[in-house]
């Protein structure tokens, strides 16, 4: 099993549009192929600093969107599903032996996809699909996941950002809700990820101590 981190330039669809027009963080939690040939349903969490209603309308009126079911759950957070007529990245991911861990927009407008891929052959198929659809990408990290108790790449990145932003300082320089907004993750999910990562580090420390 391989753990892959891909930085991908978003295609000309609703995700790229909202990232360019709004101050948002888009977090894709799952991808499902529709019955149509090109239809894709993205399950998402979106964090925005602006009016949620404006963002809901922007997504709904995007030319690539077939159906949008986003709900404003407060504090600038939207959750729901968006169905599009085409998404080469989602089709590429859905068409090979891999599973989505997370996909979150970064500050530079790219989207960081964290994937578990069965082997190098499956990874090559994925990269070939992306290249054939003219999708720009960069492999940020690649490693063999030998022990499922290891920290995942996503956990490492979250832990690193939390540390750099002062989450572990006393007093804290950034609180959980604000950090979750920066990462595009629900506060409860982020708290669980941090707890598991901290537990892993402590167990490793005391075993080696």
Could you tell me if 169 and 115 lie in one domain? no
CA distance 109 to 102: 16
Do 114 and 159 lie in one domain? The reply is no
Q: What percent of the chain has pLDDT over 90?
A: 6
pTM for this predicted structure:
0.65
Range of the domain at 197: 153-208
The answer to whether residues 78 and 130 belong to one domain is yes
Q: Are residues 48 and 116 in the same domain?
A: yes
Total of domains in the chain: 2
Please state, in angstroms and rounded to a whole number, the distance separating the CA atoms of residues 121 and 117: 9
Query: Which residues on adjacent β-strands are paired with residue 8?
Result: 111, 137
Q: Which of 144, 161, 187 is the last residue of a domain?
A: 144
The answer to whether residue 149 scores a pLDDT higher than 90 is no
Which residue did the predictor score with more confidence, 201 or 2? Answer: 2
């Amino acid at each position: 099993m391989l753990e892959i981190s891909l930085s991908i330039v978003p295609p000309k669809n609703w995700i790229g549009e909202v990232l360019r027009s709004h101050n948002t963080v888009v977090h894709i939690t799952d991808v499902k192929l529709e019955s149509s040939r090109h239809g894709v349903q993205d399950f998402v969490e979106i964090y925005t600093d602006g009016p949620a209603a404006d963002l809901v309308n922007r997504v709904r009126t995007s030319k690539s969107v077939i159906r949008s079911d986003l709900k404003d759950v407060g504090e600038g957070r939207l959750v729901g599903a968006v169905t599009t007529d085409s998404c080469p990245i989602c089709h590429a991911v859905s068409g090979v032996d891999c599973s989505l861990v997370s996909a979150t927009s970064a500050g530079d407008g790219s989207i960081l996809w964290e994937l578990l891929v069965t082997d190098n052959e499956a990874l090559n198929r994925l990269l070939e699909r992306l290249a054939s659809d003219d999708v720009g990408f960069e492999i940020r990290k690649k490693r063999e996941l030998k022990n499922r108790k290891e920290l995942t790449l996503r956990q490492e990145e979250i832990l690193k950002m939390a540390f750099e932003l002062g989450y572990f300082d006393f007093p804290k320089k950034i609180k959980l809700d604000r950090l979750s907004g920066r990462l595009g993750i629900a506060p409860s999910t982020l708290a669980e990820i941090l707890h598991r990562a901290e537990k892993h580090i402590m167990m490793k420390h005391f075993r080696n101590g």
